Structure formats: C-alpha cells, structure tokens
Amino acid sequence: MKVLIVGVGLIGGSFALVLRKHGIADEILGVEQSPCHAEQALQRGLVDRIVSLEEGMAVADLIVLAVPVDALPLLAVKVLNRVGDHQTVMDMGSIKEELCDAVSQHPRRARFVATHPMWGTEYSGPAAAREDAFAGRTAVILERERSAEDALEVVEGIYDRIGMQRIAMSSGEEHDLHAAYVSHISHITSFALALTVLEKEREEQHIFDLAGGGFESTVRLAKSSATTWTPIFLKNKYNVLDVLREHIHQLQILRKMIETDDVEGLNAAMHRANSIQRIID
C-alpha cells in the first residue's frame, strides 16, 4: 500500500512510524508546508519522499489528512475533488462537525472516512513523532454509513492492526461535545494553571525547586503547541465555553467551601470527584 500523509507533524509522523512498524505501508509519501518539518521528516525516516499534493494523490492508495483542524475542511474538499474510485481518504483531526458538514454533499463523500485517534502528547512536530503511539487507545469512526464499505475496511483494518479500540459516533456534533468534556477542558485548564503560577510566582527557581509531581502532571499539557490548540478551542468554541462555565462553577463552589471552612462539604465534593477513578481505571 502506498500512503500519502498530508501534514507530517506529531500525529501524521507518528502514524507513519506505526505504519512502518506494522508493515502496513510499502511506501510513505509526505506533504509538508514547513521546510524545516519536511527536512526533519526525511531525516527521521518518517516518509520516503516529500511531494506535492498532486504528485502524491496520483499514486497513493490511502491519503491521510493530519493538518490543523482549521485547515481540514477545505483540504478535505480539495482532496475529494481529485480522489479516484480505488483511493481512500481519512482524517485524524480532533474537531469533526465543521469537517463532516463540509464534505456531506460532496459527490465523492463515500471515499472519505472521518476519524479521530484519541492520542497525543504535549509536544509537536516531526521530532516528537513516536513509534509507540496509538496502541491501546481509542479510535473514533464517524458517520460510518456515509463511507464506502471498502474504504471503511482499509481504515478500520489499519486501526485494528495497530492495536486501537474502535468506537462509532453518528455525528460530528456528538463527537465535538464529548471531546470538549474529556480532552479540550484538560488542555485549557492546564494553560490557565500555568498562567496562574507564572503570574503569582515571580521566582522561577522556586517553581523549579518546589513543584512536585502533582503540579508537573497537571500542568504538563500547558507545553502543548498554540498552533494546534488555538484552532481547536475556536472551532469548538460553544462546547468549550459550555464546559468552561461548568468548570468555573465547580471552582466557585470549592472556593466558597474553603472560605467558610466547610469541612463536610469539601470532603463530600472530593469523595464524589474520587469516583472518576472507577471510570478511568
């Protein structure tokens, strides 16, 4: 199988490494706008060649779209305009409603499989690509009924071979709501915590010396790329704002309990929060 990966960053580059590891791709081609990232992708062996989109689509069996979410809808339409009957197009973006709407009426819609592999790190770019990515994580497949059976077989077969669990969701709207609650809120909270500490603690050495494992794990996501996350927050703004309202409400409740020395209330709230362990574990 010849694979064309459009956007050879953390996600696209890791997917390339995993495809090689499992012997799924005979040749991997990359499309990359950043000359620096293109050079890194070649040096690390993520792709065999850097090509133009037109060159890659002329020979690829599978086209993987792994660009920032604000660029995905237009790119998907552009790719579907050129796709042939034997080719499959998939995306790996974390926002789905606008993308699914953009391709919904396209005459080649059946060649497209909308997916979201639920994996990532706080790092970005080809240098951050990892061979151990995706295994044991969940891959969301959206609007399965809109994709051709052979295209689904290609994409779902790959996710199965690399060790991902598959779940189906009926719409991009459903996906984006859940993603805001279990993924996007974690990142925006981490950014806010980092800004709070940087604002209040002026001695950087104190942050370094005194920050324990709890702080480090909580603020880890604040190292994530603004180029990646600004489009995600803005493209999913209504769901993000909804979850932020609830998060701020919960913080205000905890603040009031601390102000009033409400031991019973604090204990009850934290015991309720502990129940998340049952779901995560």
Over the stretch 63-113, which tens digit does the pLDDT of each residue have?
A: 999 999 999 999 999 999 999 999 999 999 999 999 999 999 999 999 999
Are 165 and 239 found together in one domain? no
Q: How many domains does the chain have?
A: 2
- Residue 138 structural domain: 2-170
Q: Is the Cβ–Cβ distance between 95 and 73 less than 8 Å?
A: no
Q: Is the Cβ–Cβ distance between 76 and 89 less than 8 Å?
A: yes
Q: What is the 3-state secondary structure (H, E, C) of the chain?
A: CEEEEECCCHHHHHHHHHHHHCCCCCEEEEECCCHHHHHHHHHCCCCCEECCHHHHHCCCCEEEECCCCCCHHHHHHHHHHHCCCCCEEEECCCCCHHHHHHHCCCCCHHHEEEEEECCCCCCCCHHHCCCCCCCCCEEEEECHHHCCHHHHHHHHHHHHHCCCEEEEECCHHHHHHHHHHHHHHHHHHHHHHHHHHHHHCCCHHHHHHHCCHHHHHHHHHHHCCHHHHHHHHHHCHHHHHHHHHHHHHHHHHHHHHHHCCCHHHHHHHHHHHHCHHHHHC
Percentage of the chain surpassing pLDDT 90? 86
Are 28 and 133 found together in one domain? yes
Over the stretch 53-72, which tens digit does the pLDDT of each residue have?
A: 999 999 999 999 999 999 99
Say what the pLDDT of residue 278 is. 82
Domain boundary at 141, 170, 199, which? 170
Over the stretch 173-191, which tens digit does the pLDDT of each residue have?
A: 999 999 999 899 999 999 9
Instruction: Please work out, in degrees rounded to the nearest 5, the angle formed at the alpha carbon of residue 241 by the alpha carbons of 166 and 96.
Output: 30
Are 191 and 140 found together in one domain? no
Are 236 and 164 found together in one domain? no
pLDDT at residue 206 greater than cutoff 80: no
Are 97 and 223 found together in one domain? no
Are 102 and 206 found together in one domain? no
Read off the pLDDT band of 212 (50, 70, 90).
low
pLDDT at residue 199 greater than cutoff 90: no
Percentage of the chain surpassing pLDDT 70? 98
Domain boundary at 109, 141, 170, which? 170
Domain boundary at 170, 186, 205, which? 170
Are 119 and 192 found together in one domain? no
Over the stretch 151-176, which tens digit does the pLDDT of each residue have?
A: 999 999 999 999 999 999 999 999 99
Are 161 and 182 found together in one domain? no
Are 18 and 154 found together in one domain? yes
Are 33 and 166 found together in one domain? yes
Q: What is the CATH number of the domain that holds 226?
A: 1.10.3660.10
